[in-house]
Structure 1
């Protein structure tokens, strides 16, 4: 049986490898007619358990998009740990970079999804909070030039920064999905190549960087705010940074060294939006060699297809399904 590092070398012989450093959760999803208000009780129509966590979802999305993908994360010493590892492995994700923490619970997430496909999520970090720089040092030893590191904010910011530093020194590309939104300056990761946020996360990040907020919230204003925020990140670092801000059903805007633009999302009937953003991030990481606008068109279509299905990681589509969807779209989605 190959070691984790031998497995990485074999994957790299064919194409760039995606390493996802982040959270692994056991999700329980309840379908409800509406999200409860404070003090309100609502009755669920169904419940479903599945693997989740932003890290695990993004790793599965990257694998579904066709990239050799390895998950680096932490689980507890409970029954859910084996279930999560098996679920990742079944979706083609390398799992030897996952460490077990004694006397800890595997991360948990309670997801409520209403009839409008909106969601509300409560997360218990569990073992995710124990993912530290020592794991980054050990499990990212083989990351190299042309590979991709994906980060999110469901593990400690210190661990994220350590992972980004290792990847940067190795010549890898660092993708930071700043979600959940950072709340303090020490939550920021500056050594990045691609920033991915939604509108709320962008506003919070801009505020932390001292970027003036626009008075309106149209797509053009969001694009300008994204550009200013990227400039602030570049000012604090020494490398070019591309960025994407998702707009939900309205698609996404992007800023890159090659220019900026907007990609419209395919029109679909949404059922559950839980893993849409994670799907987009995984697809962006998996197709690094495409120009950002083209990559975002593919990733946006993958996210749109995901929202037509129930569940978190279970909703993430295979590349062939996304390509079929784009082929059936009469007009291109770029604007």
Structure 2
């Protein structure tokens, strides 16, 4: 049975702009398309967890007017948004996402309401957590809000997962005492710098960060899959070969699926999360590109081939 998932995180309006290549400093480019939809790492991960089959609640904040469509989009996936606050004088967060012809992206975020989540909303939601539930955090809301949620979740006996993305820029952004860190290679090295850890290899970095924080660590490696250090065991899991068109929300999909599938053994949990992320990059958009569990199961049955693990 899937755990209950509480996501405390960001909810954005995403403007996705297709360009032939990412512009350099001072350069102006013409775009081919502009699409506006719901995004934000918190919202994306909530959608991924819900589409993986979990019962999901979302805590965050949106603008009273421009956030209505965002709430409706979350509700369409069966996500409980009673804890999402609607703020009168603050607009919803917004992200401008540039996507080039190689499916790489560059993102600029205006935090808006994401940096004004009321403390009371977080406390009220975390009081209802039960042992076995999962709290899922990212790094697009103030670190103080994430630390409060993590403290309350641990008191309740819930598992705390922190996707440290975007990469923290200072020690003030660290969230201590989490059970699992989910990062990409850039975020892993940034965490290592903040913990004053020096190591050359990804495996060694994960080991030393795990020792410094007491957390398990999963590092996503893009097309190469993921490396992990979980319960003292280390290894890699391969990704599926796909033709990527947009990498937006791939990491969010992995984090949401991995959180939702806590009832599975680690190999199956990694496999489903990586397959879901692989499907995400074959579609354009943020939350709209995240696959449902039936799609993930279908690709596993129809095309078992995967990249070879390192």
Q: If the length of structure 2 is used for normalisation, what is the TM-score? A: 0.97
Specify which of 114, 117, 127 is matched with residue 100 of structure 2. Answer: 114
Conserved 8 A contact 2:163-2:182: yes
1:18 is paired with a residue whose SS is strand
Counterpart in the other structure of 1:228: 208
Counterpart in the other structure of 1:42: 29
1:212 is paired with a residue whose SS is coil
Counterpart in the other structure of 1:51: 38
Cα deviations across residues 190-226 of structure 1 (Å, max 9, x unaligned)? 1211110000000000010111131xxxxxx212211
1:291, CA displacement in angstroms? 2.6
Q: Structure 1 residues 131 and 106, CA, compared in 2 at 3 Å: closer, same or farther?
A: same
Conserved 8 A contact 1:262-1:334: no
1:132, CA displacement in angstroms? 4.3
1:122 is paired with a residue whose SS is strand
In 2, Cα distance between the equivalents of 1:160 and 1:334?
A: 36
1:298, CA displacement in angstroms? 0.8
In 1, Cα distance between the equivalents of 2:304 and 2:39?
A: 34
Q: Tell me whether 1:283 sits opposite 2:245 in the alignment.
A: no
Q: If the length of structure 1 is used for normalisation, what is the TM-score? A: 0.90
Specify which of 73, 87, 93 is matched with residue 101 of structure 1. Answer: 87
In 2, Cα distance between the equivalents of 1:295 and 1:288?
A: 7
Specify which of 173, 188, 212 is matched with residue 202 of structure 1. Answer: 188
Q: Tell me whether 1:146 sits opposite 2:120 in the alignment.
A: no
1:185, CA displacement in angstroms? 1.2
Conserved 8 A contact 1:297-1:333: no
Conserved 8 A contact 2:241-2:307: no
Counterpart in the other structure of 1:246: 220
Cα deviations across residues 147-192 of structure 1 (Å, max 9, x unaligned)? 0000001000001000000000000000000001111112111121
Q: How does 1:154-173 map to 2 (within 5 A)?
A: 154-173=140-159
Conserved 8 A contact 1:132-1:156: no
1:331, CA displacement in angstroms? 4.0
In 1, Cα distance between the equivalents of 2:307 and 2:231?
A: 21
In 2, Cα distance between the equivalents of 1:38 and 1:288?
A: 44
RMSD: 1.3
- Structure 1 stretches of 5 or more lacking a match? 1-13, 215-220, 235-240
1:292, CA displacement in angstroms? 2.6
- Paired positions, count: 309
Extract structure 1 runs of 4+ deviating beyond 6 A.
Answer: none
Conserved 8 A contact 1:109-1:121: yes
Q: Structure 1 residues 15 and 204, CA, compared in 2 at 3 Å: closer, same or farther?
A: closer
In 2, Cα distance between the equivalents of 1:62 and 1:121?
A: 23
Q: Tell me whether 1:326 sits opposite 2:306 in the alignment.
A: no
1:211 is paired with a residue whose SS is coil
Q: Structure 1 residues 120 and 332, CA, compared in 2 at 3 Å: closer, same or farther?
A: closer
Counterpart in the other structure of 2:117: 131
In 2, Cα distance between the equivalents of 1:249 and 1:126?
A: 33
1:332, CA displacement in angstroms? 5.7
1:334, CA displacement in angstroms? 7.2
Q: Tell me whether 1:211 sits opposite 2:197 in the alignment.
A: yes
Counterpart in the other structure of 2:54: 67
Counterpart in the other structure of 2:283: 309
